[in-house]
A and B are shown apart, each in its own frame.
Chain A
Amino acid sequence: MAHDSSHGVNDFGLKIATVNGTGSASANGLLLQALFRMGVPVSGKNVFPSNIQGLPTWYEIRVNADGYTARSPDFQLVVAMNPESYARDIEEVVSGGWILYDSSRELSEEFKRDDVTFIGVPFADLCVTRFDGSRTRILMKNITYVGALVALLDIDMDVVKGMLQEKFATKQHLMEANFIAIELGRDYVLEHFDCPLPIRLETVDATKDSVMVTGNAAAALGCVYAGATVGAWYPITPATSVMDGFTEYCNRFRIDPETGKKNFCIIQAEDELAAAGMVIGASWMGARAFTPTAGPGISLMTEFIGLAYYAEVPSVFFDIQRAGPSTGMPTRTQQGDLLLCVYASHGDTKHIVLFPGDPKECFEFAVAAFDLAERFQTPTFVVSDLDIGMNDWMIPKLEWDDDFVPDRGKVLSAEELEQAERFYRYLDVDGDHVAARTLPGVHGKGAYFTRGSGHDKYGRYTEDSDEYVEVMDRLLKKVESAADAVPAPELHTVEGGSRLGLISIGGCHWAVLEARDQLLRDGVQVDYLRVRGFPFSSAVERFIDEHDVVVVVEQNRDEQLRKLLLLETNCVKQKLESITDYGGQPLSKGVVLEGLAPYLEALAVEVS
């Protein structure tokens, strides 16, 4: 049987199909972590239903010695544990690949393929024989397939056992059950099949400076490190784990040692409208406050976002994007809220928006967002997505500079107010478009009325055209001046330049980077820029100017990044082409390469 020769040791894609709510998530996590601990670069993508129990769910693991962690372009091995999804799961494996399935029930003829190898292991029967209780049997079935994979892929058993020992250190009986299950699967496979498969693991040393974490956990940690004390939220997939993380890290790092009380306040609001209001209220008082949500939440928050913009209240919003519109597909990823966030709210508004590309940037941009919000006194968004937020990513270890001092912006102290003759909230005294603010409770001279109604530069109510326009014009300049303060675009250029440029955003980065590397290896010269913040820095427009064709790769139907570039730069419209991918799955390089093909042809890019 012919095998796909491009895959083998430490380089393959594996897909596990199970039933939601059966405990497979912990088995899959165990597997991913084991590979990571063997020093092999990996990534895990959880494709799960909006359901608590019963619907099909998948977990994709990519093993790649070169460190490419975008979604696996193809799957050499499928673990088919859910008869309900057999048809599509078996379909998905590449020709020459393998299918590991539960042979307790015979596989129906209709599913059989003759270009792949079927590896039948009677997981259910093995567990029924060995374990008591239906719940235990269901749970342990997942661990037996991990055991089977230990044998098939040559996974280091000591690593797996070590992890189980850590995990169940205080639950001896569970540890023993897991050991038994692992060995059940492994021993059966060793006895009945040739092991290992040509696709397999080999211990290397490529992950020692890395950690495995989700973007939401990293973002939550960023909020802790930024000094955020108030978090308000309404539960929503896929943003819930941001607040779960914040709660966990606050309980760990923010309990006052003397009193046991909390140096933080987390409020589960009645809806996203209230969550936004709480953030604005807390920020008004001078706390660093934030809310994590997804697109539907941003839709509800837009009225308050306009208030924060116009009244200039610093506030931080995390949008963990999911597939819209409306309820859409809550457990699928997308980049469909770019325009929503940039222009959120009625009237003329424009916001600072940061676009992290992985969990490391979720951490860093979370910290940056609070600085930007306070420096520019305006709502600031961190726009992540479900893929970054909820999946386990291998990232370089996070770093922290203990000399970091948060940028609280222009806030007048009681002493400064005491000495000041008068205070006017919206008076730009030094020409940088940002007026000093005061915090309630500090000094009587600092009192003013925060309001969303028309106001002049002195903070007084107005319905006068000139006074209104003066403030509105300053606000525009203020937000635009953040272009050089947001994270700069990441540039990847070839020597001598190229006629073709790629622009991408967020989690698309890794698939685009991988596709570009492949093109470079094939001798195709392509430059690449990843947008990391809005307002766009001048480098973005320059990049477009310097290329004949610029293809924008993004995950939404309406080419939102491309349209934003057209709106917010002076680039030539005809130059900007588009590759969109909006089915809800993380991007893989194949989509990029396929999408680029016509432009490569048209440009007749020289192939060396």
Chain B
Amino acid sequence: MSYITKPSARHPRLPSNAVGLTVRDYEGSMSTLCAGCGHDSVTAALVQAFFELDIEPHRVAKLSGIGCSSKTPAYFVSEAHGFNSVHGRMPAIAAGANAANRDLLYVGISGDGDSLSIGLGQFCHAIRRNVNMLYVLENNGVYGLTKGQFSASADIGTTSKRGEVNEQEPIDPVNLALSLGATFVARSFSGDKPQLVPILKAGLAHNGFAFVDVISPCVTFNDHEGSTKSYAYTRDNMHEVIETDFVPLRAEIKTDYADGSVQAITMHDGSVVKLRKVTEQYDPNDRSGVVDYLSETRSRGEIATGLLFLEAAGADMHGFQGTVDQPLVDIPYETLCPGSAALDQLQAEWR
């Protein structure tokens, strides 16, 4: 990915967070994406989320595959370790990394080509495994770096910039994630930072695979009339079904459940996610109800957004595995090696 260092000058009166850092400390190098790219707004939302959560940058591991979206880990939290892997295979790197060191905060950034075509298998299995990570799919319905081919998320009837019409059924990552048992499923819009930031924060707090599908328009190849992933179309057709508010661990929780429309869910780390229903009868804990609701809205051409489904309790990959709480990388070799006496004992059985 291209690399332009940002000047480090900062405003002297920028506020600091609990670990003494300003929002600028959570930025990365200069983006080389097209001006107006939705991905840059997602990056900005991530920067905001990290800053507000008082995260120590070096405790973050940010990963990606290949594509425009996968360039973005370079653009946030420069003091975090990054891994720009191969196309569609970031989930495997993340699963292995998380297996080895469960204490870091894992953030994977992918795109619709990366997750829904070449990497569809890995995406599905990361969900099944419930790898503890925030997984952001920057969804624009198009391959940008190779100049405008349809991706697997392009809706039927969508026209490309060159005028071709997509006839193939799209893969809806939200629907897919729900069917695979994902424990945190959200959809948002790169142009709606107030909605996106608390969702990202909740995703970072979630113990398990937190999936956020972000409609993130491609200004160069898919922002025209006839596209269902353009800024205009998304603004006109999205509706928020759930409003998310994230209350960090240290904050006092003010309850306002009076009208019964707000649900407070305590996350694994003690923080609280408050979900306020915008749409009546929508229940973000009812998987099949959510699937039905989304199917209905989709058939009307609407884009339902918000933290659509959440199951905060439950085991992640380490829970399934029964791994020790201590990160495996921190276990001293002396503990890992059984030694010569054990070898002799074992070999007595090989006779």
Chain A residues packing against B (C-beta within 8 Å): 36-37, 211-213, 221, 224-225, 227, 229-230, 232, 249, 252-254, 256, 259, 261-267, 269-271, 273-287, 289, 303-304, 307, 397-402, 404-406, 438-453, 460-461
Q: Is the CB of A267 within 8 A of B343?
A: no
Closest to B98 in A: A281
B268 within 8 A of A: no
A401: chain B residues at CB < 8 Å are 340
Q: Is the CB of B86 within 8 A of A447?
A: no
Q: Which one of A36, A262, A399 lies within 8 Å of B351 (CB-CB)? A: A36
Using an 8 Å CB-CB cutoff, how does the interface string of B75-108 with A read, 1 for contact, 0 for none? Answer: 0001111111110010111111111110110000
Q: Is the CB of A304 within 8 A of B58?
A: no
B232 within 8 A of A: no
Q: Is the CB of A267 within 8 A of B122?
A: no
Q: A227-B333, A286-B100, A289-B100 are in contact. Are A277 and B89 (CB under 8 A)?
A: yes
Q: Is the CB of A261 within 8 A of B324?
A: yes
Closest to A264 in B: B328
Q: Is the CB of B82 within 8 A of A447?
A: yes
A406: chain B residues at CB < 8 Å are 333
Q: Which one of A307, A440, A446, A447 lies within 8 Å of B85 (CB-CB)? A: A307
Q: Is the CB of B84 within 8 A of A271?
A: no
Q: Which of B7-15, B169-177, B293-301, B315-323 participates in binding chain A? A: B315-323
Q: Which one of A254, A438, A444 lies within 8 Å of B336 (CB-CB)? A: A254
Question: Separation in Å of the A338 CB from the closest CB of chain B?
Answer: 25
Q: Is the CB of B59 within 8 A of A274?
A: no
11 contacts between A and B (CB under 8 A): A227-B333, A259-B325, A262-B322, A265-B328, A281-B98, A282-B100, A307-B86, A443-B58, A444-B57, A449-B1, A451-B84
B346: chain A residues at CB < 8 Å are 221, 249, 252
B328: chain A residues at CB < 8 Å are 229-230, 263-265, 282, 287
Q: Interface SS of chain A: helix, strand, loop or mixed?
A: mixed
B329 within 8 A of A: yes
A264: chain B residues at CB < 8 Å are 323, 328
Q: Which one of A271, A286, A447, A449 lies within 8 Å of B57 (CB-CB)? A: A447
B338 within 8 A of A: yes
Q: Which one of B59, B81, B100 lies within 8 Å of A448 (CB-CB)? A: B81
Cα distance, A509 to B226, chains bound together (Å): 68
Q: Is the CB of B81 within 8 A of A282?
A: no
Closest to B99 in A: A265
Using an 8 Å CB-CB cutoff, how does the interface string of B93-137 with A read, 1 for contact, 0 for none? Answer: 111111111011000000000000000011011000100000000
Q: A398-B343, A398-B347, A402-B339 are in contact. Are A444 and B79 (CB under 8 A)?
A: yes
A230: chain B residues at CB < 8 Å are 96, 99-100, 328
Q: Is the CB of B122 within 8 A of A274?
A: yes
Cα distance, A515 to B321, chains bound together (Å): 49
Closest to A400 in B: B340
Question: Separation in Å of the A474 CB from the closest CB of chain B?
Answer: 20
Q: Is the CB of B58 within 8 A of A278?
A: no
A443: chain B residues at CB < 8 Å are 58
Q: Which one of A303, A398, A445, A461 lies within 8 Å of B86 (CB-CB)? A: A303
Starting from the known contacts A265-B99, A441-B103, 13 additional A-B residue pairs (CB-CB under 8 Å) come to: A211-B351, A265-B100, A265-B321, A265-B323, A267-B317, A278-B96, A278-B99, A285-B97, A303-B86, A400-B340, A440-B58, A449-B74, A461-B2
A276: chain B residues at CB < 8 Å are 92
Q: A402-B340, A441-B58 are in contact. Are A262 and B93 (CB under 8 A)?
A: no
Q: A211-B347, A211-B351, A277-B85 are in contact. Are A267 and B99 (CB under 8 A)?
A: yes
Q: Which one of B2, B56, B78, B84 lies within 8 Å of A452 (CB-CB)? A: B84
Q: Is the CB of B122 within 8 A of A265?
A: no
Q: Is the CB of A285 within 8 A of B100?
A: yes
